[in-house]
Amino acid sequence: MSRGGGGRWGSVSVELVMAECAGCHGVCGFWKRVEGPEERRLLELFSYGLMALGAGSALLLCFIPMPYGRYSTRRFGSLLPARVAWALQELPSLLVPIGLAACGGEAIAAPANRVLLGCFVLHYAHRALIFPLLIREGKPTPFVTFVLALLFCIFNGYLQGRSLSNYATYPPGWLKDPRFITGFIGWLLGMAINIHSDHILRNLRKPGETGYKIPRGGMFEYVSGANFFGEILEWFGFALACGTTESLAFALCTLFILGSRARQHHQWYLEKFEDYPKDRKIVIPFLY
């Protein structure tokens, strides 16, 4: 009888060991093995690198227009359909964080982490799955631009997803903290401005019309880059709600790159339209 009982327990033990080993050799097993202080330090270094990337890109964009949209050119590779390129390049920022969260982690069980990661995922669900379907005859995207955007989304998807799934910790009641509430409102308002501004841009031309027009309405009454302002506000709100180095790095990188692109748009509008509103700022209402 004791041998029979030992056999049953032995069988269960073998099954548990086999299941654990199977997990160790899977994708989630890899992420569990690399988790620890060294990866935490790596995320911090990546965050500083993201800030430097944004600053360097802003400097480069002072001399070279961002090669997509109205500045699209074949000098940066073969041209890809706008809808396809946009959906594929944004998709990693949706799928990578979801995959990391699915693999589990001590942090992702907390309500605050789930809400914050949900904010990030919701933005990219719209950008990857909905926004491309709304594009109307968008200018083709150069292949080099597409690849750079794709790599950025993979990198940032890992940075934000891993931070919130495994390392970011919050005190009890963080969802009621003024910092979270203020940041969440900024995130929500910024996303709404971004979506509304894109709607205005899509509807500037009636069916059959070509050429460019001056955007009016919404935040375009205050800045030339209203859609960019919305996204900048969104990610600074997210950074305040998260309180992490990773989220701040993303917000600063967004400010550097979209601020530079807004400046290019503003100058382009001034040169193309004699009646362009002279009191309209570039990207920050009343300031810049």
Q: What is the pTM of this model?
A: 0.87
Question: Residue 140 phi/psi, 5° resolution?
Answer: -60, 155
Residue 116 lies in a domain: yes
Structural domain contains residue 60: yes
For residue 27, being part of any structural domain is answered with no
pLDDT value, residue 19: 43
The answer to the question of residue 264 being in a domain is yes
Q: Quick check: helix, strand or coil at residue 141? A: strand
pLDDT at 188: 98
Task: Evaluate whether residue 9 is within a structural domain.
Answer: no
Closest to 34 measured CA to CA, from 121, 118, 100: 100
Compare 13 and 69 and report the one with higher pLDDT: 69
CA proximity to 58, closest of 286, 285, 255, 281: 255
Which tokens hold the place of 204?
Answer: 């500037």
Q: Considering the domain boundaries, does residue 174 fall inside one?
A: yes
For the chain, give the mean pLDDT: 89
Number of domains within the chain = 1
Lowest mean pLDDT of 7-21, 54-68, 150-164, 209-223, name the range. 7-21
* Residue 259 belongs to domain spanning: 39-205+214-272
What does the buried/exposed string (b/e) look like for 137-173 if buried means 16 or more CB atoms within 10 Å of the residue's CB?
A: ebebbbeebbebbbebbbbbbbbbbbbbbbbbebeee
Residue 164 lies in a domain: yes
Q: Does residue 23 sit within a domain?
A: no
Least reliable range by pLDDT among 95-99, 136-140, 243-247: 136-140
Q: Report the percentage of the chain scoring pLDDT > 90.
A: 74
Distances (CA, A) of 136 to 159, 205, 207: 32, 10, 10
Distance between first and last Cα of the chain: 83
The C-alpha R_g of the chain, in whole angstroms, comes to 23
Residue 108 near residue 164 (C-beta atoms within 8 A): yes
- Answer whether residue 110 shows pLDDT above 80: yes
Question: Which residues in 189-209 are b (16+ Cβ under 10 Å) and which e?
Answer: ebbebbbbbbebeeeeeeeee
